[in-house]
A and B are shown apart, each in its own frame.
Chain A
Amino acid sequence: MTAMAVRRMTRATWYKHRFSVVGIPAVFLLPALALFADGVVQRHYLSVHHLNGCLVANATTGGSSCGSAAWVSFISPSSTPNVIAVAVLALPVLVGLFAGVPWVAREFESGAFRFTWTQGTSPQRWLLGTFGPLVLLAAVSAAMYGAAAYWWYQIAQWQTGTSIWSWRWSSFELTPLSIAGWTVLTMALALLCGVLIRRVLPAMIAFIVTLGACVYLSQTLLRPWLFSIGPAVKQVSTSAGWPSSTTTYTVQTWLQAPSGQRLSGLPAVNNVSAWLAQHHYTYWVAYQPHNHLIWLELARNGILVTVAAFAVLASVWWLRIRPAD
Chain B
Amino acid sequence: MNAIETRGLGKRYRRTWAVRDCDLTVPAGQVTALAGPNGAGKTTLLRILAGLATPTTGTATVLGAAPGSPQARATVSAMDQTVPLYRHLRVAGQLAAARALNDQWDADLAVERLSALGMATSARVGKLSGGQQAQLALTMALARRPRLLLLDEPLASLDPLARQDVLGWLMTCVAEDGLSVVFSSHVIAELERVASYLVVLSAGRIQVAATVDGLLDTHLALTGPADGVDDLYDQVEIVTAQRAGRQALVLARTGAAPPGWAGRPVTMEELVLGYLREPAARVAGEPGVEIVR
Determine whether the beta carbon of B85 is less than 8 Å from that of A325: no
List the one stretch of A116-124, A190-198, A253-261, A303-311 in contact with chain B. A116-124
Q: Cβ of A120 and Cβ of B50 under 8 Å apart?
A: no
Q: Shortest Cβ distance from A251 into chain B, in angstroms?
A: 52
CB pair B82–A324 under 8 Å, yes or no, is no
Q: Give chain B nearest CB distance to A21 CB in angstroms.
A: 13
CB <8 Å contact, B78 and A118: yes
Are A15 and B84 in touch, CB under 8 angstroms?
no
Neighbouring A residues of B77 by C-beta, 8 Å: 118
Number of A-B residue pairs with CB-CB distance less than 8 Å in the complex they form: 82
Q: Identify which of B11, B93, B141 contacts A15 (C-beta below 8 A).
A: B93
Give the nearest-CB partner of A116 in chain B: B101
* Contact residue among B74, B86, B89 (Cβ-Cβ distance under 8 Å from A120): B74
Which residue, A110, A120, A121, A122, has most C-beta atoms of chain B within 10 A? A120
Is B96 close to A, CB under 8 A? Answer: yes
Given A15-B89, A325-B53, A121 and B84 contact (CB-CB distance below 8 Å): no
Cβ contacts under 8 Å, B144 to chain A: 119-120
List residues of A (135-174) whose CB comes within 8 Å of B's CBs. Answer: none
Q: Are B52 and A323 in contact (CB under 8 A)?
A: yes
A325 and B84 form a contact (CB under 8 A): no
Within 8 A of B (CB), among A86-129: 110-122
In the complex, the chain B residue whose C-beta lies closest to that of A323 is B54
Whether B84 contacts A114 by the Cβ 8 Å rule is yes
Secondary structure dominating the interface of B: mixed
Q: CB distance B101 to A119 under 8 Å? A: yes
Given that A119-B102, A119-B140, A323-B52 are contacting pairs, would A114 and B80 also be in contact in the complex, using a CB cutoff of 8 Å? yes
The answer to whether A11 has its CB under 8 Å from any CB of chain B is yes
Query: In the bound complex, do residue A325 and residue B13 qualify as a contact, i.e. CB atoms below 8 Å apart?
Result: yes
What is the interface of chain B, defined by CB distance below 8 A to chain A? 11, 13, 47, 50-54, 68, 70, 73-74, 77-80, 82, 84-89, 93-94, 96-98, 100-104, 137, 140-141, 144
27 A-B pairs with CB atoms under 8 Å apart are A9-B100, A11-B100, A12-B97, A12-B100, A15-B89, A15-B97, A19-B88, A111-B84, A112-B84, A112-B85, A114-B82, A115-B86, A116-B101, A118-B50, A118-B79, A118-B80, A118-B141, A119-B101, A119-B140, A119-B144, A120-B74, A120-B104, A120-B144, A122-B70, A122-B73, A322-B54, A324-B52
10 new A-B contacts, CB < 8 A, other than A115-B137, A118-B80, A120-B104, are: A9-B100, A9-B101, A111-B84, A114-B80, A115-B85, A117-B51, A118-B51, A120-B144, A321-B54, A325-B11
